[in-house]
């Protein structure tokens, strides 16, 4: 146990999640990295250093989310910073998307975010800890793409969930914000990067006319989790 704030980042094996863990570690947090990819998150924790701990978890499974928080609280302490970054897209034609595909995306992206936020908030409230929750939304909460209908629905839900939580939790000194990345250089964007026509379409709606880096999102997350953002809650900032 240390007096450093404990930060849990989900979907932390790579990409934006790993960059968020890196930024929070540099700000002095004690990191718990979680991901469904057990080997990947273990390697990520070793690469990060700073005493980071890896705990595998499928954020689409409520029982695993409960077990994740139980283990953290038993072995490390109470989470005071939560970054809900885990998410999947499962692209498919709108008419071909199956109920199972749609539900899996909602389970991980939206329900998992709700359950983790609720459990983290209860821990902070019970122990009198002022904390911060940062949810990973997306530009697709506002800009729809028919081939990722479930993803768009889940991210729109995250924006509203963030606002509802931000209204519910101030009595316990818990702030809740969301970050909505645009086009970021991650594995999820690999197909777009390889398709000049798709990239041209993306750039046509990107003011800065370039793809963002994961660390650019991570620095925004770290700011919202910090005391520098102590008077910010309910925000749903787009980064593009």
Which CATH number covers residue 190? 3.40.50.720
**Domain-embedded: residue 176:** yes
Q: Mapped to the 3 state alphabet, what secondary structure does the chain carry?
A: CCCCCEEEEECCCCHHHHHHHHHHHHCCCEEEEEECCHHHHHHHHHHHCCCCEEEECCCCCHHHHHHHHHHHHHHCCCEEEEEECCCCCCCCCHHHCCHHHHHHHHHHHHHHHHHHHHHHHHHHHHHCCCEEEEEECCHHHCCCCHHHHHHHHHHHHHHHHHHHHHHHCHHHCEEEEEEEECCECCHHHHHHHCCHHHHHHHHHCCCCCCCECHHHHHHHHHHHHCHHHCCCCCCEEEEC
Find the domain containing 189 and state its range.
6-239
Has residue 36 been placed in a domain?
Answer: yes
Q: pLDDT digit string (tens) for 28-78?
A: 999 999 999 999 999 999 999 999 999 999 999 999 999 999 999 999 999
Given 18, 151, 172, 231, which residue is catalytic?
Answer: 151
Answer whether residue 177 is part of any domain: yes
Decide if 191 is inside a domain. yes
Residue 1 covered by a domain: no
162 domain residue, yes or no:
yes
Has 18 been annotated as catalytic? Answer: no
Number of domains in the chain: 1
139 found inside a domain = yes
pLDDT, tens only, 127-168: 999 999 999 999 999 999 999 999 999 999 999 999 999 999
């Amino acid at each position: 146990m240390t007096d450093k704030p404990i930060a849990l980042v989900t979907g932390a094996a790579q990409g934006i999640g790993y960059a968020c863990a890196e930024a929070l570690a540099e700000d002095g947090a004690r990191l718990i990295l979680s991901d469904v990819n057990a080997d990947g998150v273990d390697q990520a924790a070793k690469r990060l250093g700073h005493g980071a701990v890896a705990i595998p978890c499928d954020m689409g499974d409520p029982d695993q989310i409960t077990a994740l928080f139980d283990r953290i609280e038993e072995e490390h302490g109470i989470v005071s910073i939560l970054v809900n970054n885990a998410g999947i897209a499962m692209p498919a034609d709108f008419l071909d998307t199956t109920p199972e595909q749609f539900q899996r995306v909602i389970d991980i992206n939206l329900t998992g975010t709700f359950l983790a936020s609720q459990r983290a908030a209860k821990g902070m409230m019970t122990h009198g800890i002022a904390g911060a929750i940062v949810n990973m939304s997306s530009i697709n909460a506002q800009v729809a793409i028919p081939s990722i209908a479930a993803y768009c629905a889940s991210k729109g839900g995250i924006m509203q969930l963030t606002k509802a939580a931000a209204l519910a939790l101030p009595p316990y000194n818990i702030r809740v914000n969301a970050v909505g990345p645009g086009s970021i250089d991650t594995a999820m964007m690999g197909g777009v990067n390889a398709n000049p026509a798709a990239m041209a379409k993306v750039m046509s709606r990107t003011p800065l006319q370039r793809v963002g880096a994961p660390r650019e999102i991570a620095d925004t997350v770290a700011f919202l989790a910090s005391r520098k953002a102590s008077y910010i809650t309910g925000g749903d900032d787009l980064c593009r």
